[in-house]
Chain A
Amino acid sequence: MSNHGAPKTGLWSWITTVDHKRIAALYGFSALLFFVLGGVEAIMMRTQLIVPNNDFITARTFNSMVTMHGTTMIFLVVMPLSGAFFNFLTPLMIGARDVAFPRLNALSFWVFLFGGLLLNFGFVINEAPRGGWFGYANLTELQYTPDLSADFWAMGLQVVGLASLIASINFFVTILNMRCKGMTLLKMPMFIWTTLVTQVLLFLSLPVITIALVMITFDRHFGTGFFNPGVGGSVVLWQHLFWVFGHPEVYILILPAMGIVSEILATFSRKPLFGYSVMVYSTCAIGFLGFAVWAHHMFTTGLGPWATTFFVAATMLIAVPTGVKIFNWISTVWGGRIKITTASLFGLSFVAMFTFGGLSGIMHSSAPIDSQHQDTYFVVAHFHYVLYGGAVMGLFGGIFYWFPKISGRFLNETLGQIQFWLYMIGFNMTFFPMHFLGVQGMPRRNYTYAPDMGWDLWNFICTIGAYMTAVGGILFAINLFYSLKKGEKAPADPWDARTLEWTIPSPPPEYNFGIEPTVTHLDDFWHRKYDEEGHKKQLPPPAKYDPHAIHLPGPSYWPICLAAGLTCGAAGFFLKGFGLYVSLVGVAVILISAYGWAYEEA
């Protein structure tokens, strides 16, 4: 089971890797590339909206930008970037050598990448998806979207969803089954808890959208009428199925960032996370309640008074554990010796920005008020505050925090802080005025607006903010590439942190821990470094071990093969004529890869 003969460098070593740390880097880089793509899509929209009656892009192109910006940012940026952190940190934080199923881990990355390419392939033939990231039927039915754009969307999403499903099972088993000695569930770092709950949300909610996407594909290609009211189908059924998945999905987007922020704030305040067990229970409550609020996206569809009341109540209820978490973060920082770094700036801004987004969210939870908000820019403001001000800021905080561990070098702090302020100012410039625009009635997803509505000034400011953010993004790219080669070298524990990943060198050896750790406390590393009064303890010299005695799983090319077969099968599904053969080739590749995998020497 050893891989001492495996290549360590070169393209092939990356293609066949099953090392969770490398897979994390692959996820991270891909997500950042898609972030640029999603950012360009945003800039296109904002440029079109900079002045009224603009003709920078056509309505059709604008609709594609709306659709793909949302789809890309959600499924190809935030989820895989979170995935990069799950991959890198989960084994390290629980004291394990790798995840439960290393080849499955590689498979989920390649499936994600190929699915992301399939999702975007429509751009190549000028048939990019344009039905919104939520693909409401019956706009996406064949009658109203006769070209292939809706198929790229549906099939691409199926493939990408499968990647997340596979990964979620992997991490779920890893966390529950492979913790080191002494690490009980309530001694796990907060990030591992949010990761755990996120995986549960993933593997329970993804099947629902799988079926919904199958239904719209069948409607489009086999003449079923699931969403065709003319034959007894229902358009509202799509909305229900989509949002039963879609609401847990937004918690999937935010929980990992919440976990990251919990780690960052504790470290940079030099205090333990306030109210750890309450945070754990709140996270579980959010996960559970997340399944009970989906119809708050449908308040204007005529649910009826009883149903509406139920969902109003449930939505207000979910604000409670969320608010508890915010108070706990504030209490963590309160009275601490706060160190300002780019990471802690992003972490602190998360708390503020997410709270703003939560406040507009709780306004939506009232159905009568929501009937005014629905389809206006007020909603756009809300979800960007929670997803950008929240998730993206939190994830960038994580990048700056763990980059030294992953690469062995620091990201440049000066560039980082400039980027942070550009992001903060640009982000707020873009999205704060959207609250006003929404209240003033500007509808969302419209490619232009009339000049006499009084919306000109705010739209202009929004767009300038977007350009500022773009500059920040460019700075980050420079920072990243520079620091990878020439960044200041980082020690094992540059931030004087609390969790196990900081006990090993930066970057970590392939086998992670020379000797599998034993844990006696929550934040065990902190307790090894400091005694109860906060005085530094003498750390024992590191124990000796033989690195050659450690066996790791060998590399494999079956995951990328299986992923290619799967994507092939999905892509052929909606191509006329030769599409069937493409799918059959895909199925054959899947079968061959599955058997090859099963019979491979582990």
Chain B
Amino acid sequence: MTNDQHAGQPAHQNHAGIPLYVAFLVVLAIITACEWAIFKFRVSLGISNFVLVAALSVMSLVKFFMVVGWYMHLRYDPKLLKINFIFAFLLVMGIALGLLTLMSAHG
């Protein structure tokens, strides 16, 4: 169904205000500090490569989606915009994984 709307008015009310943005910043900063810490103390904490990669991947993905979802407002945007981005993101991840697998098989 077409959903003709005036471009100036968003389809919902944006609840995010300054306090929320500051809260997000604090969370993002804390996660970044954790990432730094895990890296810095991986040897003394006895963290294996696998755990390191897993933990850091999760943390950076959380940061990634926080910025995309809230700072970039995607959480509140129409479905088509979300599909557009998620599709591109998932597809490039798939191709990247494919390429990495293929190129590691070559000497």
Contacts and interface: CB of A to CB of B under 8 A. Distances in A.
Interface of A: 176, 179, 181-184, 204, 234, 236-237, 240, 244, 288, 291-292, 295, 302-304, 307
Contact of B2 (A182, A291, A302): A182
Contact of A303 (B1, B4, B92, B105): B105
B88 interface: yes
Interface stretch (B9-17, B20-28, B47-55, B94-102): B94-102
Given A240-B102, A244-B95, 15 more contacts: A179-B2, A181-B2, A183-B2, A184-B2, A204-B92, A236-B103, A236-B106, A244-B99, A288-B91, A291-B91, A291-B94, A291-B95, A295-B102, A303-B105, A307-B105
A234 B103 contact: yes
B43 interface: no
A240 B105 contact: no
Listed from nearest, the 9 A-B pairs whose CB atoms lie closest are A304-B105, A307-B102, A236-B106, A240-B99, A184-B1, A184-B2, A291-B91, A244-B95, A204-B88
Interface string B68-107: 0000000000001000000010011011001101110110
Contacts of A304: 105
Contacts of B101: 307
Contacts of B92: 204
Nearest to B88: A204
Contact of A237 (B1, B94, B103): B103
A32 to B, nearest CB: 34
A234 B98 CA distance: 16
A598 to B, nearest CB: 19
A344 B83 CA distance: 37
Which of B2, B80, B103 is the most central at the interface, judged by chain A CB atoms within 10 Å of its CB?
A: B2
Given A181-B2, A181-B4, A183-B2, A204 B91 contact: yes
A550 B101 CA distance: 56
6 contacts: A183-B2, A240-B102, A288-B91, A292-B94, A292-B98, A307-B102
Contacts of B99: 240, 244
A182 B3 CA distance: 9
A176 B80 contact: yes
Contacts of A179: 2
Contacts of A295: 102
B102 A303 contact: yes
A94 B106 CA distance: 49
Contacts of B106: 234, 236, 302
A244 B91 CA distance: 12
A240 B103 contact: yes
Contacts of B91: 204, 288, 291
Nearest to A208: B95
Nearest to A180: B2
B87 to A, nearest CB: 8
A154 to B, nearest CB: 21
A184 B103 CA distance: 43
Interface string B29-73: 000000000000000000000000000000000000000000000
Contacts of B1: 184
Nearest to A187: B2
Nearest to A236: B106
Nearest to A310: B98
A237 B101 CA distance: 12
Contacts of B102: 240, 295, 303, 307
A317 to B, nearest CB: 15
Nearest to B107: A234
Nearest to B105: A304
A240 B106 CA distance: 12
A184 B106 CA distance: 48
Contacts of A183: 2
Contacts of A181: 2, 4
A270 B80 CA distance: 34
A304 B102 CA distance: 9
A303 B102 CA distance: 7
Nearest to A301: B106
Contacts of A288: 91
A177 to B, nearest CB: 9
Contacts of B4: 181
Nearest to B92: A204
Contacts of A182: 2
A183 B94 CA distance: 33
A288 B88 CA distance: 11
Contacts of A302: 106
Nearest to A203: B88
Contacts of B88: 204
Nearest to B106: A236
B43 to A, nearest CB: 28
A371 to B, nearest CB: 18
A176 B102 CA distance: 36
A240 B105 CA distance: 13
Contacts of A240: 99, 102-103
Contacts of B80: 176
A291 B101 CA distance: 16
Nearest to B99: A240
Which of B1, B80, B98 is the most central at the interface, judged by chain A CB atoms within 10 Å of its CB?
A: B98
A307 to B, nearest CB: 6
B88 to A, nearest CB: 6
A292 B103 CA distance: 16
Nearest to A183: B2
B106 to A, nearest CB: 6
Contacts of A292: 94, 98
A260 B84 CA distance: 25
A304 B105 CA distance: 8
A333 to B, nearest CB: 32
Contacts of A204: 88, 91-92
Nearest to A307: B102
Nearest to A519: B2
Nearest to A179: B2
Contacts of B95: 244, 291
Nearest to B4: A181
Contacts of A307: 101-102, 105
A184 B105 CA distance: 47
Nearest to B80: A176
A237 B105 CA distance: 12
A308 to B, nearest CB: 10
A152 to B, nearest CB: 28
